[in-house]
Amino acid sequence: MSEPRIIVALDFPDEASTMQLVEQLEPELCRLKVGKELFTRTGPQLVNRLVTLGYDVFLDLKYHDIPNTVAKACRAAADLGVWMVNVHALGGPAMLAAARNALSASDAPLLIAVTILTSSSDQDLHAVGIDRSPGEMVNRLASLAEHEGIDGVVCSAQEAQQLRSSLGNGFLLVTPGIRLPSDTADDQKRIVSPVDAIRQGSNYLVIGRPITQAKAPLQKLLTINSEISQL
Closest by alpha carbon to 155, among 173, 172, 137? Answer: 173
For residue 36, how many other CB atoms are within 10 A of its CB?
Answer: 10
CA distances from 186 to 36, 148, 189 (A): 20, 35, 8
Radius of gyration, alpha carbons of the chain: 17
Q: Which one of 33, 62, 189, 215 is the catalytic residue? A: 62
Catalytic residue at 62?
Answer: yes
Per DSSP, what are the bridge partners of residue 228? none
Question: Beta partners for 111?
Answer: 85
Q: How remote is the C-alpha of 98 from its chain's centroid?
A: 20
**CA atoms within 13 Å, Cβ hemisphere of 62:** 12
- What CA–CA distances, in Å, run from 195 to 29, 71, 219? 16, 36, 17
Query: Minimal CA–CA distance to 4: which of 230, 215, 203?
Result: 203
Q: For residues 30 and 54, is the Cβ–Cβ distance under 8 A? A: no
Residues marked as catalytic = 62
